[in-house]
Structure 1
Amino acid sequence: MKLPIICPSCEAELKVQSLHCDSCQTNINGSFELPVFLKLDLKEQNFIMDFVQTSGSLKVMAQQLNMSYPTVRNMLDDLINKIEKLKNTKS
């Protein structure tokens, strides 16, 4: 199940309030921002994982995804733009 990042009631961005260690039962409470990576949808997260696993080779990714190099390059550019917007958004 994907971690929810948007409030189902008001559609505001959710924050992490509590963390728990199953090993020693420590609880940490506060208000923590979600990392940018978790704010991306699953398809975008998978694209990043594929990018890292191919050592950043868009040529190899294009072959694996059965897409043209320019299409994969455009996907990367779109993802870069989205990440920049997420980083610059103040919640």
Structure 2
Amino acid sequence: MKLPVFCPSCENTLNVSQMKCNDCGTEVSGNYEMPLFLKLNWEEQQFIMDFFLASGSIKEMAKQAGNSYPTMRNKMDDMIEKIKNLKC
């Protein structure tokens, strides 16, 4: 099941309020902010994983995706900008 990260009503970022251990049943409640990575949509998360698995090589990512280097560089720049905005 996909973890919801945005409110279906207003589209703001959701916080985690409860976690449960499936083994012993312990529950932890509170109001915790989601990690930055989980605030990204699935496609953006996949892009970051692909970058990591390509050893940080945009050139290699472009080759694997069948895109040009400038196209992949633009996607990277867009991701960087989005992450900077999420951190504010």
Instruction: Give the TM-score taking structure 2 as reference length.
Output: 0.92
Percent of residue pairs identical: 55
2:71 is the counterpart of 1:71: yes
Unaligned runs of 5+ in 1: none
8 A contact 2:18–2:27 mirrored in 1: yes
Residue number in structure 2 paired with 1:51: 51
Residue number in structure 2 paired with 1:16: 16
Residue number in structure 1 paired with 2:84: 84
Matched to 1:77, the amino acid is D
3-state SS in 2 of match to 1:44: helix
How many Å separate the matches in 2 of 1:11 and 1:72?
28
Displacement, 1:14? 1.4
Residue number in structure 2 paired with 1:2: 2
How many Å separate the matches in 2 of 1:39 and 1:45?
9
Displacement, 1:12? 3.1
Higher mean alpha-carbon deviation, 1-10 vs 49-58, is at: 1-10
Displacement, 1:26? 1.0
Cα distance change, pair 26–87 in 1 and its aligned pair in 2 (3 A): same
